[in-house]
């Protein structure tokens, strides 16, 4: 019983001590300004959380973009090497093609042109040798 009384007295003592409302020494305007500061801190915290969410979303977009580039880099080198090899092969073959074009046999002039050139040269000489002298030839009768 004695323990119950002590327990009851201790509960009453703690209850009365905790319920005392001591003045804080702040005026009503100071209390309002503290509450306004607390409200602005809460607003700023919410703004900061929204910005953090935006940054996280952008980071996720960048990560997805990086993965796409990484995938593209895995497939593009094969195509790039094929194109580079083709260009190198073409660059190496160009001198051979040029030499082939220069050494390719050219079509010969027709025989008529050569005959005409020989006749013109012969006629332009003082004593033509290709023309037959009518005095020296015998007539077939």
Q: Do the Cβ atoms of 130 and 118 come closer than 8 Å?
A: yes
pLDDT in the model for residue 54:
94
**Local structure of residue 135 (DSSP, 8 states):** T
DSSP assignments along 82-101, one per residue: HHHHHHHHHHHHHHHHHHHH
pLDDT in the model for residue 59:
95
pLDDT in the model for residue 87:
92
CB neighbours of residue 128 within 10 Å: 13
pLDDT in the model for residue 93:
92
Buried b (16+ CB within 10 A) or exposed e, 25-40: eeeeeeeeeeeeeeee
Portion of the chain with pLDDT greater than 90, in percent: 34
Chain-wide mean pLDDT for the chain? 81
Threshold 0.75, pTM exceeds? no
Q: CA Rg, the chain, in Å?
A: 57
Give CA torsion, residues 115, 119, 120, 121, to 10 deg: 100
Residue spans of the chain under pLDDT 50: none
């Amino acid at each position: 019983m004695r323990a119950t009384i002590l327990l009851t007295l201790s509960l009453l003592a703690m209850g009365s001590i905790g319920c005392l409302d001591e003045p804080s020494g702040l005026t009503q305007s100071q209390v309002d300004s503290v509450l306004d500061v607390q409200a602005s801190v809460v607003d700023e915290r919410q703004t900061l959380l929204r910005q953090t969410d935006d940054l996280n979303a952008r980071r996720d977009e960048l990560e997805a973009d990086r993965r796409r580039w990484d995938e593209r880099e895995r497939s593009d080198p094969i195509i790039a090497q094929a194109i580079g090899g083709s260009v190198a092969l073409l660059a190496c073959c160009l001198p051979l093609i040029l030499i082939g074009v220069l050494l390719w046999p050219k079509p010969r002039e027709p025989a008529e042109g050569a005959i005409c050139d020989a006749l013109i040269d012969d006629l332009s000489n003082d004593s033509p040798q290709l023309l037959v002298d009518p005095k020296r030839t015998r007539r077939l009768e």
